[in-house]
Every structure is written in C-alpha cells, then in structure tokens.
C-alpha cells in the first residue's frame, strides 16, 4: 500500500494542485517559500496520528487567490494504490458501480466546509430568479470560521483539482450555482467511515522536520524509535539471566540504602519532622533506592553513546555529535523500527523535510541511493541539487512559486521510458539546477555558458541568478533530451535554446566538387546547421514554453557583429605573442567582410579553446558591451515574469555607469535623468518611458522591447 497521489484544493499556497507519487522514494523540489512545508502539513492532516482527528483550520489557511474565503471548501485528498485485504484498509477502497475496483485503489478525504445551514442557504439562494452577486456576498459575509466543520471520508472518486468537479459539488461563486446539500453524491465525495474503524491503526507516519530536536525525540517514550525497538525485548531474555540481573539490582538497592550518608540524611529528616509536628503525628521515614528491577524499565534506561567516525576511541552523549550525525542516527533507527517492529502495518510513511539542512553533500547522495525499505514509502522535500540529481525524475514533483499560489509540475508526463532514462543520465548535480530555476536557457558550449551570465551582470548590474534564470550547458547540439522537459503539460516554465546556424562565412561554389578544404568544412557546418534548424523548429512546434534562438554564424561572430570589435581586439595580444601573428589577426578583424573578421575571431577562439577564450573575454566586458539581439530575445523569453522593479534596477545601474563615464556621449542626459528621479516624484513607468525615449539603441531599451513583444 502506498500513496499514489495527493490533491490539495484551496489550502494555503495551493489553489488547485495534484502531486503524483511512486512506491518507494519520492522527491519534492522547490525554491524557498514554494510550499514544501505546506505540502507535508496537508499530507499529515490525513495520515499522521500525532495530529488530532478534529483538526480545524483558520481563515489564514485558505488560498489568498480567493476573492472571499467565506463559503469555499478546503479539500485534501490522498489516493492509495495496492491496498491489502484488511477490513480497515478496505473501507478506503474506491467504489465503482457498487463494487470494489479490481486494481485495489483507495481514497481518503479531509473536508473543511461550511455547516449544513449555510450550504442550504446558498443552494436556496442559487435557485432564486433575482439572485445577484450582492445578495450572494451578504450570505457569504455572515459565514465565520466557527460556522465551518471538518471531517474525513473514504472511497470517494472526486478529483477536486478539476474546476468542473469543484463547481459541481461545492459551487460556482461566479454564476451563483450551488448543489443541494440534501442530495450529496457519495460516490464522488466519499462515504463516512464506520465509527469502529481507525485508519491510523493500519498505517504509520513519521514527519522529520528540517530543524529537529533529535535528542528529545529519542528520549520520548511515545515517539522514540530506539525505545520502540527495545519494547518487548525483555520477554525474550532467558529466565536465568533475567533473575540474575533483577537480583543484582535488588542487592544494589539494598547497598545504596545502607550507605552511612543515606542513613544520616534519613535520621536528619526524621528528626526535623518530629520537631515540627511532634512524635504523635510525625510519619515514619526511610530512604530506599528504587532502581527498577523490571527488565522493560531497565531497557528504557538504555541510551545511545556515540562518536564521530574519525575519533574511534571516544564515545559521548548524543548531543555531542553533530546535528547531521544525530539526524542520520534518528533516520536509521526509524527505518529499522519500520522494518523490525511495525511489520503489522499496511504501510509506513516517512516524510523528510530538507535533509540537506544537517546532512553533508556526499552523505545525501549515499543516503538516497540506499533509503528504500520494504513497505516504507519515503517523501523527501529539498532544494538541494545533490539530492535532486540522484532522484529518479519520474518520482519527482516540482513546486513553482507564483503570485499567491504555487504550481505543481510532473516532469515526465507523456514521455517514454527511454526518454526518461536519457534525462536521468544527464541530470547531474550541476545541470539539475534547471529543475529549480524560474526560467532556463540551454546552450551548446562553454563559451555561451561562461560569457552570457558575465555579460548580463556587466551590462545590467544584476546576475541571471537574481532574476531566476539558469544557463545550462548541453555540451553539444542535442537539445531535445532536456528540452522536452519544458512543456505546458510537464514543467510549465519558459525555456530558451541558443544555438548556431553555422552559416558559411565564405562564398561557396555552386558545385560542391569545386570546394577547397576550408570551403568543404564551411559547407558541412552550414548543412548541419540548416538540418538542426528544421529539427528544432519542428520540435518546438505547438509548445508555448520552449523557443529556439539562432546565431546566424557562431556565437563569437555574432558577438563581433553586435558591435563588440573593441573587446575582441583587446584579446589579440593575450592570445598571440608573435608580432606578426598579432598584426595578421588585427588586419582580419578590421576588415568589414564577414569572411575576414569572422575567420579572425574564430582563430582567436580556437587557438586555446573556446572556453579559455571566453574566460579571457570576460575580463574585457563592461556596461558598454552590446548584447547580440538573439541572446537578449532568449533572456526575455526565459524570464517573462520580470516586472518593473527589475527593469528599474537595471535602468538605474546603467544611468549611474553612464553619468560617471566621461567618455559616454550621453553622460549629461544620464545625469539629468537621475537628478529628475531624485528631485521629483516620478512614477516608475514614466521614468522607464523617459529612459527608452532617450536611449533608443540601448541594451535595456531592446530588452524591454523584447519583453513587451
């Protein structure tokens, strides 16, 4: 038995979300504030017996995208697969036409909704001819949180992440249509569980939060996995050994009681009491040692003494160990408890919140390679690329934070097993950061990976990380493996592909047989570039999240054509030491013909490798360096969420740089614009409009145009 899905409706930052899980280990990844903790809380409401069954919610628990929370329902649904045949578990089995489904799936619902009185009033009002939004709001305003009820049901089939299902069984607040509470559909909403049935008896759930007090958890009689493992072991001890141990304890108690220090204290207490109340009323006093002589209590006194692996001769108390070490011990004990003690449970669930908070990178990888235990489903939340890199992509849920709500992505919907396998082979700890980014740019080589982030920061004063964009180096032109992750049905985030068409920089003969060796190389590259364009254009067809942006020749040549010859020339002396070579390349660069300057810049790039040349070129960049248009378009496509505040920050950075640059032809204009902002109350939008009007060919003006278009 395992959880196959979790649906959350209107709870905290989840407006309408569904998570899909596999048997074994599952990973939920997302940035800070995306809702990972809220996901666990929603799940715990249904399966964690440490939370009360009469669990109630508050107005702040409703999703903030609702115009009014009043009248809406919070619904949390767990779907199970592979139910066993126990009576209690079978009460969750989903009903078809009166029969339990053959694939043995089950469902468990938590509802938080208005009480019958108000649901009846909403239904009655929805049937009136003169119903209006004003009239509806008057009813809704009367509903307080005290007018809500919470309860659990099983065997339902309703998917309340579906808007139509929600409107049909909860209500449509726009058209003012509400269902009759006297005619509820139990096949959809589920049935009441029998009073004698307790699902908690059949499952076990442990939530390991990020900042956990492991020492106190191991002391707790109720929650300690160590005590759970020890419980009952006293019954397996041989009678002779048990008698020997308990006899020794009795002797020890007797010896402690006969110590002179104890007898003197006993006499002192007896004397003090008699002096206070007199011998007639004073009780008789005796001090006795009561070390427990029952084996079960003796076992409870056992404590873990631990030591770090590089200090083999020392053992200390648990609190002396690092937080990471303590958490590893707790996690290991919990898994052992599930395996050895709670074997009668239909399922065990282990919810681990951000293990990277206390566990070292290398241990994370080993831990998640070896975590799976029999009958234990593990759900881990993380923003660690190391954990995500060892997670199976088909057992990953991605939470993306949006305004007032979060979206949940299943990255493998519609993909074949071979496609999934190729993606998993590719996602190492470096590249898996694309799963966390708000937007992604895929590039084919080191040059783009090195130069684009540095160029963005020098030109705009912000890093790509600050605007949530990740550059991922594919290391080839095989973009399809990773690119297929980004789709409105999978990861619905914008992704740009930047690649070269490799069009020939020299004229090619009509007859390929007449090619020189160099022309043949150019023709082959051009042919592959054209074929790649056909393949990629077809690949992205109908996919709104993915787009391709092409350099006509190569990245280096496009960099020159954008107007950055000065930066390229500054690299010549660093690449070549011979005066003749330097002069030769500079002559090529100064030629206006692409066949000449193109060959010159490629000679520089290929001399020691394009990656090395890109590192060299980063030292020459500054705010005046010009972005090639196709790269700006790619950045704009990958970050459509950028707002006026970020544009404003970029504008202020560029104006400050220009106003401090004596060689800038518009230094005075930049200074005046900055002064106007400081001295006048100028709206941000008006200020940006003024910037665009004054600097029409500026990098930022072009970027804003690409955002707007």
Q: What is the pLDDT of residues 196-211, one digit of tens each?
A: 667 777 888 888 876 5
Asked whether the predicted pLDDT for residue 127 surpasses 80, the reply is yes
Question: Which is more confident, 103 or 153?
Answer: 153
- Residue 206 resides in a domain: no
Q: How many domains does the chain have?
A: 4
Measured between alpha carbons, how far is 544 from 548 in angstroms, rounded to an integer?
11
Domain check: are 176 and 274 in the same one?
no
Sorting pLDDT into bands at 50, 70 and 90, what band is 95? low
> Between these two residues, 551 and 375, which has the higher pLDDT value?
551
Task: Give me the chain's average pLDDT, please.
Answer: 85
Sheet of 106-114, strand order = 14-20, 2-11, 74-81, 106-114, 148-154
386: pLDDT strictly greater than 70: no
pLDDT for the residue 302: 60
Residue 640 has pLDDT above 90, yes or no: yes
Judge whether 147 lies within some domain.
Answer: yes
Higher per-residue confidence, 484 vs 55: 484
DSSP type of residue 111: E
The predicted structure's pLDDT at residue 102: 46
Asked whether residue 317 carries a pLDDT value surpassing 60, the answer given is no
pLDDT of 320? 47
Q: Lowest mean pLDDT of 6-20, 235-249, 301-315, 607-621, name the range.
A: 301-315
Claim to verify: residue 614 and residue 663 sit in the same structural domain: no
At 542 the pLDDT is: 93
Q: Is the pLDDT of residue 388 over 90?
A: no
Least confident residue range of 21-25, 339-343, 585-589, 615-619:
339-343
Does 428 have pLDDT greater than 50? yes
Same domain, 229 and 286: yes
Question: How many CB atoms are located within 10 Å of the residue 303 CB?
Answer: 11
Q: What is the pLDDT of residue 628?
A: 96
- What is the Cα–Cα distance from 550 to 497, expressed in whole angstroms? 8
Q: What is the dihedral of CA 13, 24, 437, 425, to 10 degrees?
A: -170
Dist CA 162 CA 178 (whole Å)? 16
Determine, yes or no, domain membership for 404: no
Model confidence band, residue 97 (pLDDT cutoffs 50, 70, 90): very low
Average pLDDT over residues 576-589: 92
Assess whether pLDDT exceeds 90 at residue 104.
Answer: no
Residue 109's closest CA among 170, 44, 63, 155? Answer: 155
Distances, alpha carbon 165 to alpha carbons 67, 162, 171, 180, 641, in Å: 20, 5, 9, 15, 30
Q: Mind listing the pLDDT tens digit for each residue in 145-185?
A: 999 999 999 999 999 999 999 999 999 999 999 999 999 99
266-316 residue pLDDT tens: 787 778 777 776 777 667 777 777 777 666 666 566 655 555 555 565 555
Residues 93-105, mean pLDDT to the nearest whole number: 59
pLDDT of 92 > 90? The answer is no
Percent of the chain whose pLDDT exceeds 90? 56
What's the pLDDT band for 223 if we cut at 50, 70, 90? low
The predicted-structure confidence for 318-352, as pLDDT tens digits, reads as follows: 444 455 556 666 666 766 776 666 666 778 888 88
338, 194 contact by CB (below 8 A): no
Q: pLDDT-based confidence at 15, cuts 50/70/90? A: very high
Boundary of a domain, candidates 165, 199, 233: 199
CA separation for the pair 425, 484 (Å, rounded): 15
Selection from 89-93, 238-242, 681-685 with the highest mean pLDDT: 681-685
Residue predicted with more confidence, 213 or 84: 84
- Answer yes or no: is 637 within a domain: no
Q: Give the C-alpha separation, 492 to 440, whole Å.
A: 11
Domain co-membership, 594 together with 655: no
Residues 6+ apart with CB under 8 A from 594: 505, 553, 557, 561
594 shares a domain with 445: yes
- pLDDT exceeds cutoff 80 at 620: yes
Q: Which CB contacts under 8 angstroms, 24+ apart, belong to 386-389?
A: 386/356, 386/361, 386/429, 387/27, 387/29, 387/355, 387/356, 388/27, 388/29, 388/427, 388/432, 388/435, 388/436, 389/365, 389/427, 389/428, 389/429, 389/431, 389/432
User: Given the structure tokens 């004397």, which residue do they identify?
Assistant: 271
Domain membership of residue 458 (yes or no) is yes
229-257 mean pLDDT? 71
Q: 278 is in which domain, residue-wise?
A: 216-335
Query: Same domain, yes or no, for 539 and 469?
Result: yes
Whether residues 223 and 329 share a domain: the answer is: yes
| Residue of higher predicted confidence among 386 and 496 | 496
pLDDT in the model for residue 255: 87
Of 366-370, 384-388, 458-462, the poorest mean pLDDT is in 366-370
Same domain, 492 and 597: yes
Average pLDDT over residues 595-602: 93
DSSP result, 26-87: EEEEE-TTSSHHHHHHHHHHHH-TTS-TT----GGGB-TTSS--TT--EEEEEEEES--S-H
Reduced to 3 states (helix: H, G, I; strand: E, B; else coil), residue 582 is helix
What band does 85 get if pLDDT is binned at 50, 70 and 90? confident
pLDDT value of residue 98? 45
Residues 220 and 173 in one domain: no
Q: Based on the domain organization, do 581 and 693 belong to the same domain?
A: no
Q: What is the pLDDT of residue 295?
A: 61
Q: How confident is the model at residue 680 (pLDDT cuts 50, 70, 90)?
A: confident
Residues 233 and 193 occupy one common structural domain: no
More reliable by pLDDT, 22 or 257: 22
pLDDT for the residue numbered 615: 93
56 pLDDT higher than 50: yes
**Confidence check: pLDDT of 364 > 60:** no
Q: Quote the CA–CA distance of 521 and 501 in Å, as a whole number.
A: 14
- Whether 366 maps to a domain, the answer reads no
pLDDT at residue 164, rounded to an integer? 96
Residue 267 φ then ψ, to 5° = -65, -40
| Residues 300, 293: Cα–Cα separation, whole Å | 12
Q: Which two tokens stand for residue 368?
A: 């998640």
Say if residue 141 is exposed, middle or buried (CB neighbours under 10 Å; 0-12, 13-18, 19+): exposed
Among candidate residues 578, 611, 631, the one where a domain is terminated: 631
Q: How confident is the model at residue 100 (pLDDT cuts 50, 70, 90)?
A: very low
Residue 277 or 527, more confident: 527
Same structural domain, 54 and 146: yes
Check pLDDT > 70 for residue 367.
no
pLDDT band at 661 (very low <50, low <70, confident <90, very high): very high
> Domain boundary residue among 335, 369, 400?
335
Q: Does some domain include residue 229? A: yes
- Specify if 676 maps to a domain: yes
Q: Which strand (E) or helix (H) includes residue 350?
A: strand 347-353
Per-residue confidence (pLDDT) for residue 483, from 0 to 100? 93
User: What phi and psi values does residue 475 have, to the nearest 5 degrees?
Assistant: 80, 10
Q: Tens of pLDDT along 442-491?
A: 999 899 999 999 999 999 999 999 999 999 998 887 899 899 999 999 99
| The pLDDT value given to residue 299 | 58
361 Cβ neighbours under 8 A, 6+ residues apart: 384, 386
Instruction: Tell me if 12 sits within 8 A of 64, measured CB to CB.
Output: no
């Amino acid at each position: 038995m395992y959880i196959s899905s979790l649906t959350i409706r209107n709870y905290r930052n989840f407006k309408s979300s569904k998570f899909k899980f596999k048997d074994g280990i599952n990973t939920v990844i997302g940035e800070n504030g995306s809702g990972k903790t809220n996901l666990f809380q929603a799940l715990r409401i249904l399966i964690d017996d440490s939370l009360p069954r009469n669990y109630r919610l508050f107005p702040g628990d409703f999703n903030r995208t609702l115009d009014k929370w009043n009248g809406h329902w919070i619904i949390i649904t767990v779907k199970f697969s592979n139910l066993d045949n126990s009576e209690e578990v079978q009460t969750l089995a989903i009903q078809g036409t009166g029969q339990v489904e053959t694939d043995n799936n089950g469902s468990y619902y938590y509802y938080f909704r208005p009480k019958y009185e108000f649901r009846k009033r909403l239904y009655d009002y929805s049937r009136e001819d003169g119903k209006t939004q004003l009239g509806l709001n008057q009813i809704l305003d009367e509903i307080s949180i005290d007018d809500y009820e919470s309860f659990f049901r099983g065997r339902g089939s309703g998917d309340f992440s579906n808007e139509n299902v929600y409107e049909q069984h909860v209500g449509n607040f726009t058209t003012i249509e509400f269902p009759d509470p006297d005619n509820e559909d139990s096949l959809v909403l589920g049935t009441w569980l029998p009073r004698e049935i307790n699902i908690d008896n059949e499952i076990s759930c442990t939530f390991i939060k990020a900042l956990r007090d492991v020492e106190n958890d191991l002391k707790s009689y109720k929650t300690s996995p160590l005590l759970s493992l020890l419980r009952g072991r006293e019954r397996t001890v041989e009678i002779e050994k048990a008698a020997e141990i308990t006899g020794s304890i009795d002797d020890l108690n007797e010896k402690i009681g006969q110590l002179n220090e104890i007898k003197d204290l006993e006499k002192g207490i007896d004397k003090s009491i008699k002096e206070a109340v007199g011998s007639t009323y004073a009780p008789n006093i005796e001090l006795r040692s009561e070390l427990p002589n029952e084996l079960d209590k003796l076992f409870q006194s056992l404590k873990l003494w631990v030591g770090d692996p590089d200090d083999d001769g020392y053992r200390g108390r648990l609190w002396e160990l690092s937080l990471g070490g303590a958490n590893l011990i707790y996690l290991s004990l919990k898994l052992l408890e599930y395996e050895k003690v709670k074997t009668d449970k239909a399922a065990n669930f282990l919810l681990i919140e951000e293990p990277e908070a206390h566990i070292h990178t290398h241990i994370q990888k080993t831990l998640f390679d070896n975590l799976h235990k029999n009958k234990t489903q593990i759900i881990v939340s993380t923003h660690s690329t190391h954990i995500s890199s060892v997670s199976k992509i088909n057992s990953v849920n991605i939470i993306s934070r949006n305004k007032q709500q979060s979206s949940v992505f299943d990255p493998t919907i519609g993909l074949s097993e071979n496609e999934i396998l190729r993606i998993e082979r590719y996602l190492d700890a470096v590249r898996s950061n694309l799963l966390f980014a708000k937007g992604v740019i895929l590039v084919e080589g080191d040059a783009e990976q090195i130069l684009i982030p540095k160029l963005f920061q020098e030109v705009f004063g912000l890093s790509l990380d600050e605007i949530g964009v990740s550059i991922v180096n594919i290391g080839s032109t095989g973009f399809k493996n990773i690119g297929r992750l980004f789709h409105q049905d999978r990861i619905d985030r914008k992704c740009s592909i930047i690649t070269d068409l490799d069009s020939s920089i020299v004229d090619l003969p009509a007859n390929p047989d007449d090619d020189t060796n160099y022309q043949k190389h150019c023709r082959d590259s051009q042919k592959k570039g054209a074929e790649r364009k056909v393949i990629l254009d077809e690949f992205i067809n109908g996919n709104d999240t993915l787009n391709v942006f092409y350099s006509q020749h190569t990245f280096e040549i496009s960099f020159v054509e954008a107007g950055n010859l000065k930066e390229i020339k500054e690299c010549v002396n660093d690449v070549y030491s011979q005066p003749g070579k330097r002069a030769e390349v500079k002559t090529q660069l100064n030629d206006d013909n692409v066949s000449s300057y193109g060959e010159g810049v490629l000679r520089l790039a290929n001399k020691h490798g394009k990656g090395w040349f890109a590192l060299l070129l980063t030292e020459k960049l500054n705010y005046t360096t010009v972005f090639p248009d196709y790269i700006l378009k790619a950045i704009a496509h990958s970050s459509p969420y950028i707002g006026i505040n970020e544009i404003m920050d970029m504008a202020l950075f560029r104006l400050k740089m220009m106003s401090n640059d004596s060689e800038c032809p518009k230094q005075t204009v930049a200074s005046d614009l900055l002064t106007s902002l400081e001295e006048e109350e100028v709206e941000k939008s008006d200020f940006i409009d003024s910037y665009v009007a004054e600097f029409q060919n500026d990098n930022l003006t072009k970027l804003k145009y690409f955002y707007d278009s």
